[in-house]
Amino acid sequence: YEGGGELLCLGVITILYVMFTWWRDIIREALFEGQHTIAVQQGLRMGMILFIVSEVMFFFAFFWAFFTASISPVFNIGGVWPPTHIVAISPWGLPFVNTILLLSSGASVTWAHHAIVAGFKKEAMLGLNITLIFAVAFTAMQGFEYASAPFSMSDGVYGSVFYMATGFHGFHVIIGTIFLAICTFR
């Protein structure tokens, strides 16, 4: 596909610019202008809640596609699940390690949150740094999983749903890592 790399770079630069200016404005409004009134705080909370609900629906669609295809596989993929030409990745290998990393990062970021609320800066920084290490490790492991997967995105419904769901999830982890890195730096 001609121009795909340039389009990807333009998209990444645009996202980074929007993220930078948004964070800059939030910091400016909160610290210097004192505009985070109760109404603004409630609006930010409601916006985050609606964002999370939309993400739940987004991923629900991928699970729906996967379960629909797996419960009643059609004849053109061999009538079995996974399709006859697909060698599935064992869930007890790298996916299990990634699950442990995600659960551990959830525990460490919760620890950091409670430390922030209690005013324990040293513990909060430790929890955030541990979370960032887990997130980077998860992203690296997912990259390795993609490089060594025995199927591709073009291998029918199995490959496309796998790569779309795990790819978007990985993208969310990367964005969350950036957010937590900014919070840790601040």
For 83-94, what is each residue's pLDDT tens digit?
888 888 899 999
Secondary structure (3-state) at 177 = helix
What average pLDDT does this structure show over 138-155?
Answer: 92
* Cα gap 138→134, rounded to integer Å: 6
> Model pTM greater than 0.75?
yes
Q: What is the pLDDT of residue 145?
A: 94
Q: Indicate the CATH number for domain 77-185.
A: 1.20.120.80
Lowest mean pLDDT: which of 16-30, 31-45, 97-111? 31-45
Beta carbons of 164 and 99 less than 8 angstroms apart: no
Cis peptide before 95 (omega within 30 of 0): no
Beta carbons of 133 and 184 less than 8 angstroms apart: no
